[in-house]
Amino acid sequence: MHSPTLRTPVALVLALVVAACGSGPAPSSTAVASVIASASSAASASAAASTSAAPASPSLAACTPPTTPAAKSWNSEVWYEAFVRSFADSNGDGVGDLRGMTGKLDYLNDGNASTAKDLGVNGVWLMPIFRSASYHGYDVIDYRTIDPAYGTAADFTALLAAAHQRGIKVILDLVMNHTSDQNPWFTASAAGDPTYKDWYVWSDTDPGFKGPQGQTVWHPLNGRFYYGVFGSGMPDLNLRNPAVTAELKSIAKFWLDQGVDGFRLDAIPYLIENGQKQFSTPETLAWLRDFQASVKAVNPDAMTIGEVWADSSIAAKYVPDSTDLTFNFDLAAATVASVQTGQPSTLASAIGQTVTSWPANQAGTFLTNHDQARVASVLGGREDELKLASFLLMTEPGVPWVYYGEELGLAGNKPDEQIRTPMPWTADPERGGFTTGTPWEPLAPGTELTNVATQSSDPASLLATYRSLIRLHGAQAALHGGGTVPVAASGPVVAWLRTTADDVALVVANTSGTATSDYALTLAAGPLCGPLGAPTTVAAVNMDSTTSAAALTPTAAGGFTGYRPLDTLAPHAAAVIDLGKP
């Protein structure tokens, strides 16, 4: 099945934006801003006239001039989650490795602002690369040694240098809740070694209670029991032991000293249990505050992002003191669900929840990650829906993260190995340019089309859309650093404003598969204080984005009533409409 979609005009306008802005690690917003400003000033006189001629608003509320929220260095960035085992194999053994990754960095960002053939991401999260007992690496045996299948310490040094040369930051996946049961620390602990006996959580008798998901958490060994919330193969470290805390800080320093730019912190709500309270305890948040301070003491610019797979109200509590960012799982699920069902209310609600929960833009936004069915499979591989999802990702409040292959529409359903399959670089369905040997896991179905080579030569491809939207995100200050104001919408439409002191951008999307003219946007009170220039459509997907947007006359309260910026919204169409400086 393939839903009807208008494709090429979108790429046109996005291409204009990209051409105006250039590309690279830190795209400038000035070019776009000046384009918008000149377009706006041309029409400002007539807009001012219509504003003054408008009847007085019955509302007594005054408008609120927009301000620019506090921003961190990562707020203009887009990040990429990569599974080294599946990215690129340099030596033909079928297993991706660090040298393979180094060879493909130009795909992520070639470091040249004048090219647009790279994805343009600013940072990479490497899923675990330490010596481990498993293919995925989330059960670590040695935190200071690279998995031999991935390469050597020298290979890592080379990767880091090559990435930094291109303006790509690198953060490592750090698993602090548990280790492998094959970690020498655990072996020594189980044997009663005086140094390590308290490094894990032991009980002489079976406490008997279950874990947060009803799973067995107490595992028998030699007549005693140890706690492992993720199973017997992954015993939980005892983070109440100062020696364990000191070792984890030392490990973080070991990697920061080599130049890594921070960490993605795995499963952090599980760090410290308090009896049967095993999820997001106050002790866990306090421990992380101390750990965070130790990271910043080594490198104040380092970034931490935590995996807190929980409601926004819980996940946001970690920011900014326990972690710099946490992933916004609620918004991710709502984004995918709204595109899948066509119902915008789920997404509208999650946007509102995000605004009230997190400090502005200090959440990691994403669609799906390495633990979830890939978004392309959830959406049945429909290209227009995938383009809409990518558009929403790049316009929502937060720092966007792209899971490798997502930019191609790579398919994947559980089991986990099949959502972590080799990256398809070419149309070869067997090896996909990933390896000259036999891939460790067969390629996902459909890679004849979902591959880098094929999509790179198609300006209307999903990959081309990602490349353009990533540049748009970096170029438009309102999109990456603006405040967010939810807008009420009727019909199958969701909308919000992104606002800085200098710019207001309207994001509007039709989540349904049906064209609609029967919708209207309303904002009771807002930031539109001055007369506005002519709205400018700066980016769009699934519609002819050369369509000009209707003029907007703000109310006295700085909002609007019954605004319909585009006469008709095509199926799954979405646009960023710049309203200029109010």
> Which residues are at the interface with Ca ion (CB under 5 A)?
89, 91, 93, 95, 97, 177, 236, 270
Least distance CB 411 / Ca ion (angstroms): 24
The distance of closest approach from Cβ of residue 89 to Ca ion in the complex, given in angstroms and rounded to an integer, is: 4
Catalytic residue among 147, 155, 266, 330: 266
Quick one: 320 exposed, middle or buried, by C-beta within 10 A (0-12, 13-18, 19+)?
A: middle
Residue 86's nearest CA partner among 380, 422, 348 is 422
Task: Annotate 555-577 with b (16+ C-beta within 10 A) or e (fewer).
Answer: bbbbbbbebbbbeebbbbbbbbb
User: What is the rounded CA–CA span in Å between residue 348 and residue 346?
Assistant: 6
Taking the least distance from each CB to Ca ion, the nearer of 434 and 466 is: 434
407 is catalytic: no
Within 10 Å of residue 45's Cβ, how many Cβ atoms?
Answer: 11
- The torsion angles phi and psi of 545, rounded to 5 degrees, stand at -85, 10
Give Cβ neighbours of residue 320 (< 8 Å, ≥ 6 apart): 359, 362
DSSP class of residue 64? Answer: -
Nearer to Ca ion, 89 or 396 (CB): 89
Rank residues 283 and 544 by Cβ distance to Ca ion and give the closer one: 283
Tell me if 560 sits within 8 A of 523, measured CB to CB.
yes
Please indicate whether residue 261 is annotated as part of the active site: no
For residue 565, cis peptide bond before it (omega within 30 degrees of 0): no
Residue 33 phi/psi, 5-degree rounding, is -60, -40
Whose CA is closest to 175, among 126, 114, 223, 213?
A: 126
Please say which residue, 280 or 338, places its beta carbon nearer to Ca ion.
280
Query: Helix, strand, or coil here: 80?
Result: strand
CB of 451 to Ca ion, least distance (A): 20
Buried/exposed 220-251: b ≥16 CB within 10 Å, e otherwise:
eeeeebbbbbbeeebbbbbbebeebbebbbeb
Task: Determine the residue type at 497.
Answer: L
Structural contact between residues 340 and 310, judged by C-beta atoms closer than 8 angstroms = no
How do beta strands 483-489 and 399-403 pair? unpaired
Q: Residue 308 has which token pair? A: 């807190």
CB 487 within 8 A of CB 395: no
Structure token digits, residue 22: 């250039």
Which SS3 state, helix, strand or coil, does residue 2 take? coil
Q: Which residue has the tokens 């899923």?
A: 127
Q: What share of the chain is helix, strand, coil (3-state, %, to 5)?
A: 35, 20, 50
Which amino acid is residue 542, in one-letter code?
N
Angle at 240 between CA 235 and CA 243, to 5 degrees: 90
Tokens 């999109």 sit on residue:
479
CB of 226 to Ca ion, least distance (A): 11
Query: Judged by CB, which is closer to Ca ion: 151, or 481?
Result: 151
Q: Phi then psi for 412, rounded to 5 degrees?
A: 175, 125
- Do the Cβ atoms of 564 and 520 come closer than 8 Å? yes
Say if strands 303-306 and 325-327 run parallel, antiparallel, or are unpaired: parallel
Contact 423, 441 (CB under 8 A): no
Measure Cα distances from 147 to 97, 186, 338, 347 in Å: 9, 19, 39, 40
Q: Which is nearer to Ca ion, 29 or 179 (CB)?
A: 179
Nearer to Ca ion, 239 or 336 (CB): 239
Tokens (6 digits) for 501: 């002191």
Shortest distance (Å) from residue 194 CB to Ca ion: 22
The active-site residue out of 89, 307, 407, 578 is: 307
Looking at the chain, how many residues does it have? 582
Q: How far is the CB of 371 from Ca ion (least distance, A)?
A: 18
Q: Report the catalytic residues.
A: 266, 307
